[in-house]
Amino acid sequence: MAFEEIIGQERLVDNLKKIIRSSEISHAYLIDGLKGVGKKQFAISLSKAILCLNTSRESIGSDNCTSCKKFKDNNHPEFHLIEQDGSIKIEEIREIQKNIHIKPYEGNKKVYVILNGDKMTVQAQNALLKTLEEPPGHSTIIITTNNLKALLPTIISRCQLLKLRPQGVERVANYLVEKLGINQEEARVTATFSNGLIETAKNIYYSEEFKRRRFKVIDIAEKLLSTNTMNILNEIEFFNAEKDDIEEIIDLFIYWYRDILIYKETQEDSLIINYDQYIKIQNQNKIIEFAKLRKAIMILEEKKQQIRGNVNYLLAIESMLLNLQDLFNNN
């Protein structure tokens, strides 16, 4: 992806393009932003732009030079990506230190990207700090994080901080329609669930698990309106299987009742998250009173907090479901 194709960060991209053209590139950048805002793609696109040999052109990093073509083919010798599922240990940082002072074979720059830098151990951060204090002029280190507090203040102070902002629901929806060919209704639902975060939206769209869970939650919400207790208790198996992602499940219930509440107050569909379930929301709006919707959300929030603590998980789920059923079926 060319640098200027980054969605929602236009001012930041323009400023960085000016810096790259003037050859005043910092020795270290720290990219901060919410999970799902696109920090990895931004770091990679910035790396490509820094390594681009045609910086005098309007479009930097757009596959028109040998460097960009190698970058696109994932075989650029001066681009180094550090990405770990767990913690980033001192050994990974020492690998950087082994060759960061060696002059580049191609062009005049080398770039090292450390994804999720907040996962670095304290030892790894202290080792990196030594490199940041005496940086070679031909190398740039790019660190991404969604938790600045986990980084040493001395690391933060030696980097140029780049803050990424959420792209917004409308822009993300338009991106999904134009770039991924999603129909407008599904794009709107996906973008809304993503809270306007582009990478989160793409993950939701491609996740069959998310879609399955969402429709299951809507089905259970329908069953909670009946007095058949066994139907509700039979759903505990679903919650047991989804224990590791229970907060997402509870949030889906909260979004559902929030939508009904908003529709009850406004009679508008523009603020509804579950837009594709508009008819069901209309129908449940006729059944559930305003005060009960607010109480339902309170019950769900309380159970989410309890489950984070040391409680019996299945008893907490059973209590949550029966409390909701009782709430909706009693005056």
* CA dist., res. 198 & res. 45, Å (int): 15
* CA dist., res. 264 & res. 284, Å (int): 10
Rounded to the nearest 10°, the torsion over CA 219, 223, 225, 226 is 160
Bridge partner list, 139: 110
- Which CATH number do you get for residue 116? 3.40.50.300
| Pair 219, 324 in one domain | yes
Whole-number percent of the chain with pLDDT over 70: 98
| Pair 35, 56 in one domain | yes
331: pLDDT strictly greater than 90? no
Structurally, the chain folds into a number of domains equal to 3
What pLDDT band is residue 34 in, cutting at 50, 70 and 90?
Answer: very high
Taking the whole predicted model, whether its pTM rises above 0.85 is answered as no
Q: What pLDDT, on a 0 to 100 scale, did the predictor assign at position 309?
A: 87
* CA dist., res. 40 & res. 11, Å (int): 18
| Pair 193, 221 in one domain | no
From 184, 206, 228, the end of a domain falls on 206
* CA dist., res. 288 & res. 134, Å (int): 64
Instruction: From 288, 286, 273, 282, select the one nearest 224 (Cα to Cα).
Output: 288
Output 161 or 5, whichever has higher pLDDT. 161
Per-chain mean pLDDT for the chain: 93
Instruction: From 42, 43, 61, 45, select the one nearest 53 (Cα to Cα).
Output: 61
Instruction: From 155, 151, 154, 152, select the one nearest 141 (Cα to Cα).
Output: 155
325: pLDDT strictly greater than 90? yes
Tokens of 53: 């040999």
* CA dist., res. 38 & res. 32, Å (int): 10
| Pair 86, 156 in one domain | yes
- Which CATH number do you get for residue 324? 1.20.272.10
Interval 287-306: pLDDT, tens? 999 999 999 999 999 999 99
Domain extent for 183: 168-206
| Pair 14, 156 in one domain | yes
